[in-house]
Structure 1
């Protein structure tokens, strides 16, 4: 695999903003993570610790710590005696991501009997409000606004909240890092957004109906459909994003 080092025209390293030195380690991690998932660094881009340290105006230690944390999240990969590189997303990654999402969302369905009526009513109202706000963007063809507002993630996080397990919510959120990358790569189309909007409404309707089998059916349909569309987009993009 060919790895690249990102440079601006003229051969100069890409500039990064200096960061505030308070809470330095977390800020370094957050900034680098944002650059990676929004594909400011290309897939397979080699991340130089000295170069990043110089550009951010921090020592090498918080940069090294940030890269270690990002490697644990699967966003970068270190090759011994070669360097650390931005991980590209391929077909298998999408399959793994969707398996994890399906497992976590099915787990929530199984926990619904333990959720009191007031909590269920509140979460449903939140999900319906997200649908209402997102529908305004979709119906007026403001798809970019829909994506920037991250309505898809907000909807699914409200659903995950019904499981009342912070660890599972954190896992789900980390699993959803890929959403920025697919947006940047133009993998998400207008049609995908409109179909997802309809499927989200089906999930709400199934929750109101209260039948476990119906809920699992619409969730599986939604995630299977998203998976196939993402796989097709990745293949059309050359196999990775």
Structure 2
């Protein structure tokens, strides 16, 4: 028998995805009555979901006004990239040695498919594949506090890229080269080199982001 998913969990995932994909635009008002009708449930699970998303900084609560999709500001972008620069190179240095040759092969396959998605301008696919690439390393981390922090950062990062979007093709093509450079270092057992390539990849992404906003 299939276990029934709680309504508040369903509401959380649906609203979160609509925020991240910018269907619900930054700074827009989240009308509880509208959400209740759209999702076909009462306001109670909706409020629970919005409260959880507020903790993840995807939703803001304004006194006497209600729930709003969190705004995207230059300060917010700076914080997201600062967090990524601290965490992702660390993940590489700390956990990349646990990757098997088969897992590194899989990372290369992901980049190959990612490249084809960019060529065909399939934005939904390449954003998902980008996440898959990074998760190959993140999944090795057993520290759930760090993983939780990274996930919150990545959700915001994904929202930023979709908003400015669909990131210019030249930049997307550059990320292929950068990802392959990371893989090359991993194959050679050069963890420090891979971490440095990851750091450079994030810095370039940050520069690109600020030229687009």
Give the structure 1 partner of residue 54 of structure 2.
71
Give the structure 1 partner of residue 172 of structure 2.
193
Secondary structure of the residue that 1:150 maps to in structure 2? helix
Range moving further from structure 2, 119-128 or 84-93: 119-128
State which of 32, 39, 44 in structure 2 corresponds to 1:56: 39
Give distance in 2, aligned partners of 1:145 and 1:220.
Answer: 24
Give distance in 1, aligned partners of 2:182 and 2:124.
Answer: 19
- Label 1:87 to 1:218 Cα distance change in 2 as closer, same or farther (>3 A): same
How many pairs does the alignment contain? Answer: 209
5+ residue gaps in structure 2? none
RMSD: 2.3
- Confirm or deny that 1:122 pairs with 2:79: no
State which of 137, 145, 154 in structure 1 corresponds to 2:132: 154
TM-score in terms of structure 1 length: 0.77
Give the structure 2 partner of residue 203 of structure 1.
182
After the TM superposition, which residues 37-116 of structure 1 pair with which residues of structure 2 at under 5 Å, given as runs?
37-112=20-95, 115-116=97-98
Range moving further from structure 2, 25-34 or 160-169: 160-169
5+ residue gaps in structure 1? 1-20, 235-241
- Label 1:55 to 1:211 Cα distance change in 2 as closer, same or farther (>3 A): closer
State which of 173, 183, 207 in structure 2 corresponds to 1:228: 207
TM-score in terms of structure 2 length: 0.86
- Label 1:80 to 1:145 Cα distance change in 2 as closer, same or farther (>3 A): closer
Structure in which a larger fraction of residues adopt helix = 2
Q: In the TM superposition, what is the alpha-carbon distance from 1:174 to its structure 2 partner? A: 2.5
Structure 1 residues 74-101: Cα deviation after superposition (integer angstroms, max 9, x where no partner): 0110011122111121222121111211
Does the aligned pair in 1 maintain the 2:101–2:187 contact within 8 Å? Answer: no
